[in-house]
Structure 1
Amino acid sequence: MRFLLAALCALLMVAMLPVTPATAQSGSSADFDVTKVTPSVVGGGSPGEVVVSGTLTNRSGRALTGVQARIERGTPPTGEPAVQRAMREGVSGITEPAFSPVADRLEPGQSLPVQVRIPLTGSNSLQLSQTGVYPLVVNIQAGRSSIAETQFLLPVTSLPGQPPMRPAQATPTTLVVPIVDTPRLEREALPGGRAVLVDDKLSTSLAPGGRLYDLVQAISDSAPAGSSLGNALCFAIDPDLLITAKAMQGGYQVRQPNGALVEGIGRSAADLWLTKLRQATTGRCVIPLPYADADVVALGRAGLDDLVNGAMDGAQLLSAPDGLGVEPRDVMWPIEGALADNPVGDLPSTMLLDTRAVNVPAGSLTPVKLRGQNRTAIPIDPLLASALDPNRDTKQEVTEPSPPSSGALTSQNALGALAFRATGGYVPNATSVLVPPRRWNMRADDLRGLLTGMSKLDADGLIRLTALPSPNPATLAEADLTYPVQAGGSEIPREAIDKLAAQNFRVGDLARSSESDRAQTVSPGRVTTPLRNGLLHGVSSAWRGNSGAAEDWVRRATGPINDMLGKVRIEEYPGTTNRLSSDSPIPVTVVNDLPFTVGIRFKIPTVPGVEVQHDFGGGLATVPANGRRQFMLEASAQRAGRFMVDISVTADAGTPLGTTKRLPMESTEYGAMIPWLTGIAGAVLVLMSVRRIVKKAKARRERTAAAQKSVAEAETQPLAHAVTSSQPEDDRDQR
């Protein structure tokens, strides 16, 4: 019993694992990269055979001999789960035509082009007898061993020479075209500086043959503006990519691994691509993504409403004359098509949401009104999303380019899934919205094949190409948001967002402390907005599940912030000592190298013995744009001595500007001790004077008393004694 339970658990665990399409069997010794399937949609005017073209590569360590191939057909799926299995799992062929020789010998590492053909009907064919969506398997063998296997869907709207089998109602269909890349702009070209990119990979992607170039070029070629297919397309553009391409267009530098800067090589490629993008989007539906495809859900959970609103400001960049000059739709396509309950910020009125992110009936594709909000949700067709993204429901769903290999197979699966949606999987009163992966990795020929196939399905009456819906919330049923657990688990981590929030406070403090200068044409936003946008790189969808990369981009964004805040500073002090008296001002010069006026506050820690008044009445002191201003800080010394006073300036809310300067000061004043010393000295003098007077008075009294005593003694002597005493004097007179 325990063994059976363990086996059952193992089977359940395997069933829960995400599946990815295989281009070769597990353990196969060769790869077959399909580059084209002709026709992509079998219809009345199609040739009588299917041709699969591609490249066969021997990736084993031995030579492969007797290489041969054939195309097998599987059973047509009858439900959406069966379509999913046909796209992602192995399909057993029910037809076994003869093998065709491919090569006598294929050495290790050798590649060669291969074309495998199979008739639609007749003997040794696919044995098609009716319309439908058929899974096909390309089986390649060496001898009797299978070395590679590839599968895809083939829609058949009619057999050759017969009219198409039209459904009762065509399925309204629209396609979103994502124009998104990974953040690469480390520093915008702020006043006085040049743009810096972390690498030069974008120059390749924007050049002919590159991923982003091919997307735009294929749309222009196969779905020009004004055509029925062109009107059914809607571009989803990351404003950060537009800003990065414009920075490259103006000349830029590239950061090397050792930190050095070199000139970028993609200036002309960026110029060409921007021109083609403007032409391709003129008169079209355009959806602005959040700047840098930021994780607005994670920002909202952290209470950073201002950053959410800042991320949504990218629509202005698309509509600006020096941008694309288009009027974007008020639509948002959040990461993984999911939005948290009670979203914060000024978000658009319409959301493109995954059906798992909104509580709608199973299989429903009808727009709904989000409960408690004046917003509508347009469901993304999950079957088509799965067909367009082989990485769907994996960790690479958002972060990596997809499809990772053959775009031709992805195109075929999308056409097959779309044909099934229009027939066996029809959903009434709904538009099938095809939403590819964000970093759509389709070669130009593969995308042209998809667009041509969609036009064929439209012409055969299976689908009706239409614009992205604009639902009226007053007419819709209500539904609740249901944020998927998987989406929450891959959000940008809170640690990275906390670091971002701290830097965003510094940028906001500078913005709130600044104002435009009449003599300058640069507003504070010309500096602070790029600084904020740089921080949004740290919450890009590219870093979902990668906290290290998110924090690294926050660190990269901190450098330009420090540089801009450092442009407002106290001028270097010459080093002489300020001599203070009891009331002596300190001259301090503040320099502002920013092209707008900045309000500052002085910050001076308390120093015993010195008082400095620097509040300027409680308001901000202003320093003009690209100028300087001298301030006289009133200082008072309470005692003599040498002092070191630290002086710095901050923005309104305390963000430091520049660095702290230490000013040496010296005072010979005694300050408040002088009156005390004077009083004491005066008191001592008075006491000394009193003492002298007392001594003199005492001495006078003593002399007077002595004289009075002598007189009294003389009066009491006998007369004889008096005569005797006078005799010698008489004798002297006689002589």
Structure 2
Amino acid sequence: MTALRVRRTGLVRFAAGIGIVAALVMALTAPLAAPRAIAGEPGGTPFVQVRIDQVTPDVVTTSSDSVITVSGMVTNVGDRPVHEVMVRLEHAAAIESSAALRTSLDGDTDQYQPAAEFLTVAPDLDRGQQVAFSLSAPLRSFTKPSLAVDRPGIFPVLVNVNGTPDYGAPARLDDARFLLPVVGVPPDEVDDFESAVVPETNKPVWITMLWPLADRPRLAPGVPGGTIPVRLVDDDLANSLATGGRLDILLSAAELATSREVDPGGTVSQAMCLAVDPDLLVTVNAMTGGYVVSDGPAGAAQLPGTPTHPGTGQAAATMWLNRLRALAHRMCVTPLPYAQADLEALQRVNDPGLSSSATHGTADIVDRILDVASVRGATLFPDGPLTSRAVSLLSATEDTVAIAAADFDYHDARISSEPDASGVADTAPRRLSPQVVAAPFEPAVGAALAAAGNRPIVPTYLDSKLSVPIAHDSATARRQDALGAMLWRSLEPDAAPRTQILAPPGSWDLQSDDAQLILTALATTIRSGLAIPRPLPAVIADAATRSEPAEPLGADTSTRGRFDDEITEEIAGQVGRLWELTSALTTDERTGLTGAQYTAPLREDMLRALSQSVPPGTRNGLAEQRLTVVGKTINDLFGAVTIVNPGGSYTLATEHSPLPLALHNGLAVPIRVRLQVDAPPGMTVTDVGLIVLPPGYLPLRVPIEVNFTQRVAIDVSLRTPDGMELGEPARLSVHSNAYGKVLFAITLTAAAVLVALAGRRLWHRFRGQPDRADLDRPEPPHTSRHALQRRRGQPDREEHRV
């Protein structure tokens, strides 16, 4: 600070003296006053904040201007005025390790040297006021201060802000840092081309870039398949798909960078691969047919039946999806895990069907909606660490290459969160199990890319030692850091291996300028000979050739962003019940809707509950919110298949009268059920076997046999073929008039007696003998006797006498 004191005027010294006296007075009279700034580093109390708005040029090449200009703003964010606000550019030596891509952006400033003199931007800066600045410094100079850039590389640059707060001493009040990529050093003078310094291109980097197209889950939870129109929790996706929206910016940047006009040789197209979330495709595809939006709070899980209003993004969804289909036909496409689900948490759920839906079943969704053959064989981890549990999940199925951050193993000596001697993490492929090979990417580079854009992200795979306070940095500074991180390995010929995978987070939120500059930097490295395109299928093929013995990962101790065990246990219970129900469902021949399609959205809801697309601190709360809705829906599905309780009583006329029932299926697909009747002793129920119960009502008559006469209660219930109870059991009141075996014996005895008596009478009549049963009867009348004799053919005695 000696140079600063020399430049001060007498008036400023006098004012500073007055300030010191005033500070002493306040120290005696107001002990709770804010502490004064300490000379050297920014104090604990913020007084000003510096923001970098523009860096020109953002990437230095041999054709760039030889002077760097940095402009921005200084704002008084403290509780008092600040005097003599001055700014200065400072620089540090070129970065030689990947870890320094992050560590140079935080901590002490001992490695920084002045690149120019201090510039006073405001003699006084009151509370809330801000002042603009513009600083310039030559890249190199032998006669005056400069950035000392004498070769290609990545150079840290710092904007230092000094000032004197009221009641304080002169101090460094704030600083802002960024990385300056230098692909080539321009000549000192316009015509002096020999002084230009070009990069070494004899060790190019084989480069692969994943370009994410993903979003947080938007479909409302608890809605089974076949529900039209679909329902979204909010309409933010419509804005994201529309012109100027987040997903439109990402798609537009990829379209432009791989177009024939910009990329005539197709080299950028070869290096890039679209990493698409199948859940986003399912949602956008559903929006093209019209949809509704819940009226509840945005982003909250809404119960079915919540009031809705029509969505506004049908046209935008149709246009965006058509553009994506066209782009997918000319470049690589590969799926992300469904809904960007956390595979470590999914392994704790321990459901093979759900795990397959999150990993190996995703490619089929992409192929069907985009009408392409997506790249298979890779599992992407752009947001979280690759853990031993995730490896176990992947090892249970077919072979795969896990693309994850290089510091995924916190206990491995060869790949560690601590930089090695050269400060470069080992990104060589490594076999983790007989089925899984890891193709790592540089965590510092991934973190720098994640910090770019409107919503900076700190990935959960990043070790705390490499974390920097990105919220303090401006969008421009974060973009510079991303560009520097991208280009570092190609500009550092001694960094090994000579392969690089660029893996931004799934929920990347870039401004249009960010996306354009990042893809321009990718094209620059390829066209300058610093990098060679390496298609994703080549990455998979190269990693699959690893034949060394597997090196299992150690236990992961990271807790940031981890889903609680209560969440995974709840998912395990719910998905188990859902699989039981699904196994009983069949296909509705009228609509073609299958049972698996009907329950698929509910299984997908469980994957959405484990999404890493939401901030780590909100994951468990949002998961619990979604699972509550899904659990209620599953209960409703089980309760929708039931026996209609008549509410009265049945009377059986005989012992073989059937028991009439009515079954109701409130689902959209048929279901196979078994009828369980708990009959009392003396009643036999015939098993009617499996019943295919269509949607709606089905009358049913159950054959029974009753051997008693009394009123009884019968419990009737429905179950799936595997025994899961459906609906509420019904209790029927049945009255039987049957007498059973006793009545049967009496009836037979009476019939036998009746037959015997009738036979005896007929015997006597045929023989013309009077029956004993007629002896006690009175003589029939005369006329009747004569008529009887005539009917028998006997002569009338009176006529004979005549």
Fold shared, TM-score > 0.5 on shorter chain? yes
Note the alpha carbon deviations across 1:13-45, whole angstroms, 9 max, x for none: xxxxxxxxxx99853334444344222221110
Q: Which amino acid aligns with 2:219?
A: L
Are 1:506 and 2:577 counterparts? yes
CA distance in 2, matches of 1:553, 1:397: 30
How far 1:223 moved relative to its partner?
A: 4.3
Are 1:327 and 2:374 counterparts? yes
How far 1:154 moved relative to its partner?
A: 1.0
CA distance in 1, matches of 2:725, 2:437: 44
Report if aligned partners of 1:69, 1:101 keep a CA contact under 8 Å in 2. yes
The SS at the match of 2:358 is helix
Residue 387 of structure 1 is aligned with which of 443, 448, 452? 448
Q: Please say which of residues 246-255 and 483-492 is displaced more in the overlay.
A: 483-492
**Structure 2: unaligned runs, 5 residues or longer:** 1-40, 165-169, 188-195, 416-424, 452-456, 749-802
Report if aligned partners of 1:295, 1:541 keep a CA contact under 8 Å in 2. yes
Q: Which amino acid aligns with 1:230?
A: S
Provide the TM-score with structure 2 as the length reference.
0.72
Note the alpha carbon deviations across 1:398-428, whole angstroms, 9 max, x for none: 9x9x976644333322332344323446344
Are 1:228 and 2:279 counterparts? no
How far 1:600 moved relative to its partner?
A: 0.8
- Percentage identity across paired residues of the two chains: 26
Residue 372 of structure 1 is aligned with which of 399, 416, 434? 434
Report if aligned partners of 2:388, 2:556 keep a CA contact under 8 Å in 1. no
Residue 575 of structure 1 is aligned with which of 635, 642, 647? 647
1:151 maps to what in 2?
Answer: 177
Q: How does 1:2-151 map to 2 (within 5 A)?
A: 27-54=45-72, 56-63=74-81, 67-92=85-110, 93-102=112-121, 108-109=127-128, 115-122=134-141, 123-142=144-163, 144-151=170-177
2:209 maps to what in 1?
Answer: 175
CA distance in 2, matches of 1:638, 1:293: 63
How far 1:536 moved relative to its partner?
A: 1.7
Report if aligned partners of 2:460, 2:561 keep a CA contact under 8 Å in 1. no
CA distance in 2, matches of 1:112, 1:32: 10
Residue 338 of structure 2 is aligned with which of 287, 291, 300? 291
CA distance in 1, matches of 2:324, 2:123: 47
2:296 maps to what in 1?
Answer: 256
Q: Which amino acid aligns with 2:179?
A: L
Q: Please say which of residues 112-121 and 508-517 is displaced more in the overlay.
A: 112-121
Are 1:238 and 2:277 counterparts? yes
The SS at the match of 1:470 is helix
2:407 maps to what in 1?
Answer: 356
How far 1:73 moved relative to its partner?
A: 1.0
1:191 maps to what in 2?
Answer: 226
CA distance in 1, matches of 2:320, 2:55: 29
Report if aligned partners of 1:412, 1:450 keep a CA contact under 8 Å in 2. no
Q: 1:628 to 1:352 in 2, by over 3 A?
A: same
2:198 maps to what in 1?
Answer: 164
Report if aligned partners of 1:65, 1:103 keep a CA contact under 8 Å in 2. yes
Report if aligned partners of 2:224, 2:598 keep a CA contact under 8 Å in 1. no
Q: 1:276 to 1:71 in 2, by over 3 A?
A: farther
How far 1:628 moved relative to its partner?
A: 3.9
CA distance in 1, matches of 2:268, 2:150: 30
Are 1:420 and 2:488 counterparts? yes
Report if aligned partners of 1:586, 1:635 keep a CA contact under 8 Å in 2. yes
Q: Which amino acid aligns with 2:602?
A: L
2:685 maps to what in 1?
Answer: 613
The SS at the match of 1:69 is strand
How far 1:494 moved relative to its partner?
A: 3.1
Are 1:338 and 2:372 counterparts? no
Are 1:600 and 2:618 counterparts? no
CA distance in 1, matches of 2:343, 2:744: 67
Q: Which amino acid aligns with 2:55?
A: V
Report if aligned partners of 2:385, 2:461 keep a CA contact under 8 Å in 1. no
The SS at the match of 1:158 is coil
Note the alpha carbon deviations across 1:654-683, whole angstroms, 9 max, x for none: 33434444433333445578689999xxxx
How far 1:308 moved relative to its partner?
A: 0.6
Q: 1:167 to 1:654 in 2, by over 3 A?
A: same
Residue 667 of structure 1 is aligned with which of 736, 754, 758? 736
Report if aligned partners of 1:319, 1:328 keep a CA contact under 8 Å in 2. no
CA distance in 2, matches of 1:547, 1:29: 37
Q: Which amino acid aligns with 1:354?
A: A
CA distance in 2, matches of 1:615, 1:36: 81
Q: Please say which of residues 649-658 and 236-245 is displaced more in the overlay.
A: 649-658
Are 1:443 and 2:524 counterparts? no
CA distance in 1, matches of 2:505, 2:136: 31
Asked which structure has the greater CA Rg, the reply is: 1
CA distance in 2, matches of 1:403, 1:650: 57
Q: 1:519 to 1:183 in 2, by over 3 A?
A: closer
**Structure 1: unaligned runs, 5 residues or longer:** 1-22, 680-735
2:726 maps to what in 1?
Answer: 657
Give aligned pairs, total: 649
1:309 maps to what in 2?
Answer: 356
Q: How does 1:505-584 map to 2 (within 5 A)?
A: 505-542=576-613, 546-570=619-643, 572-580=644-652, 581-584=654-657
Q: Which amino acid aligns with 2:155?
A: Y
Report if aligned partners of 1:133, 1:155 keep a CA contact under 8 Å in 2. yes
CA distance in 2, matches of 1:595, 1:82: 59
How far 1:597 moved relative to its partner?
A: 3.1
Note the alpha carbon deviations across 1:493-539, whole angstroms, 9 max, x for none: 33222222222223222322223244442222321222211222222
How far 1:593 moved relative to its partner?
A: 4.8
Q: CA RMSD in A?
A: 3.7
CA distance in 1, matches of 2:133, 2:398: 51
Q: 1:555 to 1:407 in 2, by over 3 A?
A: same
Report if aligned partners of 1:389, 1:410 keep a CA contact under 8 Å in 2. no
Q: Which amino acid aligns with 1:623?
A: L
The SS at the match of 1:316 is helix
Q: 1:111 to 1:633 in 2, by over 3 A?
A: farther
Q: Please say which of residues 147-156 and 362-371 is displaced more in the overlay.
A: 362-371
CA distance in 2, matches of 1:310, 1:612: 46
Report if aligned partners of 2:92, 2:157 keep a CA contact under 8 Å in 1. yes
CA distance in 1, matches of 2:241, 2:378: 26
CA distance in 2, matches of 1:195, 1:384: 39
Q: Which amino acid aligns with 1:368?
A: R
The SS at the match of 1:71 is strand
Q: 1:189 to 1:216 in 2, by over 3 A?
A: farther
Q: 1:126 to 1:163 in 2, by over 3 A?
A: closer
Q: 1:568 to 1:124 in 2, by over 3 A?
A: same
The SS at the match of 1:590 is strand
How far 1:579 moved relative to its partner?
A: 0.9
Report if aligned partners of 1:166, 1:460 keep a CA contact under 8 Å in 2. no
CA distance in 1, matches of 2:130, 2:710: 86
2:325 maps to what in 1?
Answer: 278
Are 1:465 and 2:533 counterparts? yes
CA distance in 1, matches of 2:498, 2:549: 16
How far 1:477 moved relative to its partner?
A: 3.5
1:697 maps to what in 2?
Answer: none
Provide the TM-score with structure 1 as the length reference.
0.78
CA distance in 1, matches of 2:242, 2:633: 29
2:764 maps to what in 1?
Answer: none
The SS at the match of 2:65 is coil
Q: 1:453 to 1:423 in 2, by over 3 A?
A: closer
Note the alpha carbon deviations across 1:680-731, whole angstroms, 9 max, x for none: xxxxxxxxxxxxxxxxxxxxxxxxxxxxxxxxxxxxxxxxxxxxxxxxxxxx
